[in-house]
Chain A
Amino acid sequence: MSAPSFFEWLTTSPWANAMNGPEWAFPVVQSLHFIGFAFSIGTIAIVDLRLLGLAMRRQSAAELAADLDPWTRLGLALMLITGPLMFSADAVAYHNNPSFQFKMVVLALALLFHFTIHRKATRSGVLPLAAKFAGGMSLLLWTAVVAGGRMIAFV
């Protein structure tokens, strides 16, 4: 199956039909997407601010990262379910949208960074400068993901 026909097929899938059905379906799924990133990006940002030494200084970064991890994962799961649902509803247009393409690239980088360097930086005994780099870089990557997402509707 060639790429365009895959995206065309997606728009005719049952879940795409459900998304394009009742008027409330899309905004409700979008709202769940927002709640998903409040959980995921919101908890990652708490760890980032700790790595930068700006918040939650009475806890160690390792302790915070461990305690928040389940909620980060819950948020990521919610985002990765609601995101593709919205994508399916208008797959051909989205996959040609430059903002969407930008968002997917930075999302891949942000996730890769999160589960590799960011995770290591929360361990005890990491150089302060390395921790700060990881925190700042993570904030920057997730900010780019949100900004790219917002721009999809305007491009």
Chain B
Amino acid sequence: MGQAIMVGMAELRVTRGSGDVLVALGLGSCIGVCAYDAMAGVAGMAHVVLPASVEGAGEAPGKYADTAVPALFAAMKKAGASPSHMLIAIAGGAQLFQFGGQVARLDIGRRNAAAVLQALRVQSARLIAEDVGGTVGRTVSLRCADGAVVVKTLGQGERELATLVSARRAELARAA
């Protein structure tokens, strides 16, 4: 039986359960990093809160972009995923609060997005979709069965952001 696995702030979760769905509820300035290896059937998600770790803080690796991304990749590998097969999608990094017409203050969302993208580049990750920035909160989920990434917002309801399966693999699946 599959289950909804909640990924709270600063958490990082990996699953092989084909019926499971990884969910990060209510992302504001935080970012949900979704990773999926269709071949191995491994899905992972990190709920990043801040851009860069403080030295020697010894805190949850999922909290900071620069530690969450490598930790997510390591956890995915441990569960049997291969980095070369992994596809990535990210969502979040919004600026919810409007300060008298200007939104410049405390723009952690933008900094989070930049830091996550940088950390993904360091890992040579294959980022295939992103839904970051803006001024609305998001809930993001990743279905382990097929790698579908769904983003939900207040204004627009649910929409599928991407399916984390390569075009070639999807073609093969259709042919089979």
A, B bound: no
Which residues of A does B touch, CB under 8 Å?
none
